[in-house]
Homo-oligomer: A and B are copies of this chain.
Amino acid sequence: MPLVEVDGGSSAAIRLRAGEAVQLINTHGSQVVDTWCLSAADITEYLSVEHTRRMLGRLFPQEGDPLYSNRRTALLTLERDTAGCLHDMLVACCDKWLYQFYGAPPGHANCHDNYLHALAQHGIVTERVPNPINFWMNVPVVDNARIALNAPVSKAGDSIVLRALRDVIVIFSACPMDITPVNGEDRIPKSVAYEVMGDGR
């Protein structure tokens, strides 16, 4: 299937059937991608990082991990992860209130609104925005207590593959953050790309 580009600071929602997968490519290497997943059958079931942490016994997902819903059902598998780096699941996505906090002018693009916009384009209206998995976001834990906001250590062309275990909707937001260095020291959001893969059966 074709490679689809997602501009830096924008978002996309993708429907996957059980067995299908999506490869997400960090084209330039420095772009964080906030990622959500909803059960297509019932969008009140969503990928829950607080349930995933509890079921894995870990703060960060790794290649091979199932990713659990708020009903403790695995919706996705993180089938491949070429970077093998930290992927943050600890901090909320950026939103207009964060940019207000930083004194940015009103109207700054943000992952919260990107998520709602991408779903609305599929006819799905909600106001709930779960805590995403922030792929490639480098938020290490320090002294088992504090968190840091660092530039990514991933490289151009790094990719992940998410395999659907149920019929799901996956939402990607190429994070628009240009104030902290989470999208690289140049603080310039950049494009990523994705490709839907068959079930290989």
Residue numbers of A with Cβ under 8 A of B are 44, 48-51, 53-54, 57-60, 70-73, 90-92, 95, 97-98, 100-101, 127-129, 131, 140-148
The one of B59, B70, B73, B131 in contact with A146, judged by C-beta atoms closer than 8 angstroms, is B59
Given A97-B71, A97-B72: A91 touches B145 (CB 8 Å cut-off): no
On chain B, the residues within 8 Å of A147 by CB distance are: 53-54, 57-59
CB neighbours (8 Å) of A53 from chain B are 90-91, 147
Cα of A53 to Cα of B144 in the assembled complex, Å: 13
A148 to B58, CA, bound (A): 9
Chain B neighbourhood of A141, CB < 8 A: 59, 141, 144-145
Given contacts A59-B147, A60-B145, 8 further A-B contacts (CB under 8 A): A50-B90, A50-B131, A54-B98, A57-B146, A70-B92, A71-B95, A141-B144, A143-B144
A181 to chain B, nearest CB (A): 15
* Chain B residue at minimal CB-CB distance from A141: B144
- Which residues of chain B come closer than 8 Å to A51, judged between CB atoms? 92
Closest B residue by C-beta to A93: B50
Expressed in whole angstroms, the minimum distance between the Cβ of A65 and any Cβ of chain B is 13
Q: Which residues of B contact A72 (CB under 8 A)?
A: 95, 97-98, 100-101
The complex places the Cα of A68 from the Cα of B147 at a distance, in Å, of 17
CA distance A127 to B59 in the complex (A): 26
